[in-house]
Amino acid sequence: MVQTLHYARLDSRSLIALGGPDWRDFLHNLISQNVETLAVGEIRFGALLTPQGKVLYDLFVVGREDGCWLDVAAEHRDAILQRLMIYRLRAKVTIAAEEAPVTVLFGGGPAPGEGWLADPRLPDLGWRGYGLPAPQGLIEGGEADYAAFSRSLGVPGPADWGVEQTYPIEANFDLLDGIDFKKGCFVGQETTSRMKRRGTVKTRFLPIAFDGETPPPGAEILAGELRAGVVLSGADGLAMASLRLDRIAGADLSVDGQPARVVRPDWFDARMAAPF
């Protein structure tokens, strides 16, 4: 099957520029990702967590000559700026909004030129670009198209984990290279490391498919008469869901009386089985 590369501008994302001599140590001690080894032109996925270990804000860190860019949800950029300012204290770091657009290439095929960065979560997700012109000759899509594509690969997004609602391991941040368990301390690190080390995570995000209309977010998923999870975001018969792994194995699932089935991506099972 021939895969066609699509282009989309993500107006739901915006940038924050960090610089100054202390930017690397400052950010490294805050987020779930390692930035001490981040190279210029490299991108990494991570999150800023609450002290209790829940996802506050997801982010991508983009290495630059004079610091880094943080690719964050546009609706939360002001709140993230304020939080970073609070953490800054005496650190010699500059923090400012950056207005370059965030774009993606998805659907299969190589990037059409320099400057595009391979998505660090999963190779099949495609490429992210910052301040780059729209490529010529590609099919232009919208954010809904990109969200549907990500969902088809079993990759959740901000609409699924929300703010201060979800532990990052439940949202598969550990499987999508969003947590560095060897980097040492960061905000929320103790809870996150303990959950991974003890293997006590019962809930994970996975796609769930329906033959009819996609149920609304918040709809309860049943395994027989037992509550097995809840529907998150979705459309066109496929949704992300928060599921109890111990209740879905071999079970007949339903939502509001409608049959449902779990779609387990190959990468999910392969990465679940890999040591961390």
pLDDT of residue 2: 39
Helix (H) or strand (E) holding 248: helix 245-248
Q: Give 148-172 pLDDT, tens digit per residue.
A: 999 999 999 999 999 999 999 999 9
pLDDT of res. 1: 34
Residues of the chain short of pLDDT 70, as ranges, are 1-3, 275-276
Q: What is the pLDDT of residue 276?
A: 61
Beta carbons within 10 angstroms of residue 54's beta carbon: 21
pLDDT of residue 111: 86
129 and 10 Cβ atoms separated by less than 8 Å: no
15-55 pLDDT tens trace: 999 999 999 999 999 999 999 999 999 999 999 999 999 99
Domains by residue range for the chain, with CATH = 12-102+140-161 (3.30.70.1400), 202-273 (2.40.30.110)
3-state secondary structure 164-207: CCCCCCCCCCCCCCCCCCCCCCCCCHHHHHHHHHHCCCCEEEEE
Rounded to whole angstroms, the Cα distance separating 36 from 230 reads 37
pLDDT at residue number 198: 83
CA 59 distance to own-chain centroid: 8
Q: What is the mean pLDDT of the chain?
A: 94
- 248 by Cβ neighbours in 10 Å (0-12 / 13-18 / 19+) ranks as buried
Rounded distance, CA 238 to CA 104, Å?
22
Query: Rounded to whole angstroms, how far apart are CA atoms 173 and 206?
Result: 12
